[in-house]
Amino acid sequence: MSDLLETVRTLAKKTDSKILMVVLDGIGGLPLTLNGETELATAKTPNLDALARDSQLGLVELVGAGITPGSGPGHLSLFGYDPLKYVVGRGALSAVGIGVKLGAGDVAVRGNFATLGQGRVVDDRRAGRPSDEKNAEIVARLRAAIPEIDGTPVEIYTESEHRFVVVFRAGGGPALGANISDVDPQATGVQPLSAEPHDDASARTAGLVNAFVQRAEAALQGEEQVNGVLFRGYSDVPHFPSFDDAYGLRAACIASYPMYKGLASLVGMDVLPVEGHEDALEGKVAALREHWENYDFFYFHVKKTDSTGEDGDFAEKVHKIELFDELLPQLLALKPDVLAIVGDHSTPSKLLSHSWHPVPLLIRAEHGRKDMAARYTEEEAQKGSLGLRRGTDLMPLLMANALKLNKYGA
Task: Tell me whether residue 407 is in a domain.
Answer: no
Task: Tell me whether residue 145 is in a domain.
Answer: yes
pLDDT at residue 95, as a whole number? 84
Phi, psi of 110 (to 5 degrees): -90, 130
Rama region for 63: left / alpha / beta (φ>0; ψ in -120 to 50; rest): alpha
pTM over 0.75: yes
- The amino acid at residue 172 is G
Do 376 and 358 share a structural domain?
yes
Q: Label residue 230 by pLDDT band (50, 70, 90).
A: very high
Q: Distance of alpha carbon 212 from its chain centroid, rounded?
A: 26
pLDDT at residue 231, as a whole number? 94
pLDDT at residue 24, as a whole number? 97
Within a 13 Å sphere around the CA of 280, how many CA atoms are in the beta-carbon half?
A: 8
DSSP assignment of 350-410 equals TTTS-BS--EEEEEEETTSPP-S--SSSHHHHTTSTTEEEEGGGHHHHHHHHTT-BPPP--
Given a contact cutoff of 8 angstroms between Cβ atoms, the answer to whether 106 and 237 are in contact is yes
The beta-strand segments (E) located in 218-325 are 228-235, 251-254, 270-271, 297-302
DSSP assignment of 24-75 equals ETTBB---SSTTS--HHHHS--HHHHHHHTTSEEEEEESSSTTPPPPHHHHH
Mean pLDDT computed over 76-93: 88
Pairing of strands 387-390, 148-149: unpaired
Task: Tell me whether residue 302 is in a domain.
Answer: yes
Q: Is 262 exposed, middle or buried (0-12, 13-18, 19+ CB in 10 A)?
A: buried
Task: Tell me whether residue 53 is in a domain.
Answer: yes
pLDDT at residue 207, as a whole number? 96
Phi, psi of 135 (to 5 degrees): -55, -50
Do 106 and 11 share a structural domain?
no
State the Cα–Cα distance between residues 5 and 271, nearest whole angstrom: 22
Residue 65 belongs to domain with CATH number: 3.40.720.10
Lowest mean pLDDT of 4-8, 67-71, 346-350, name the range: 4-8
Do 371 and 266 share a structural domain?
yes
Answer with the one of 200, 235, 270 that is the final residue of a domain.
Answer: 235
Question: How many percent of the chain have pLDDT more than 90?
Answer: 80
Per-residue model confidence as pLDDT tens digits over 144-196: 999 999 999 999 999 888 999 999 998 777 889 999 999 999 999 999 999 99
pLDDT at residue 201, as a whole number? 87
Answer with the one of 235, 256, 281 that is the final residue of a domain.
Answer: 235
Residue 243 has pLDDT above 90, yes or no: yes
State the Cα–Cα distance between residues 40 and 43, nearest whole angstrom: 5
C-alpha to C-alpha distances, 259 to 92, 148, 187, 209, 307, nearest whole angstrom: 8, 25, 22, 21, 14
Do 53 and 122 share a structural domain?
no
Do 163 and 63 share a structural domain?
no
Mean pLDDT taken over the chain: 93
Do 228 and 111 share a structural domain?
yes
Answer with the one of 182, 207, 235 that is the final residue of a domain.
Answer: 235
Do 50 and 27 share a structural domain?
yes
Phi, psi of 233 (to 5 degrees): 80, 50
Per-residue model confidence as pLDDT tens digits over 352-375: 999 999 999 999 999 998 899 999
pLDDT at residue 278, as a whole number? 62
Given a contact cutoff of 8 angstroms between Cβ atoms, the answer to whether 13 and 248 are in contact is yes
State the Cα–Cα distance between residues 296 and 292, nearest whole angstrom: 8
- Based on the structure, what is the number of domains in the chain? 2
The boundaries of the domain holding residue 210 are 94-235
State the Cα–Cα distance between residues 7 and 10, nearest whole angstrom: 5
pLDDT at residue 100, as a whole number? 86
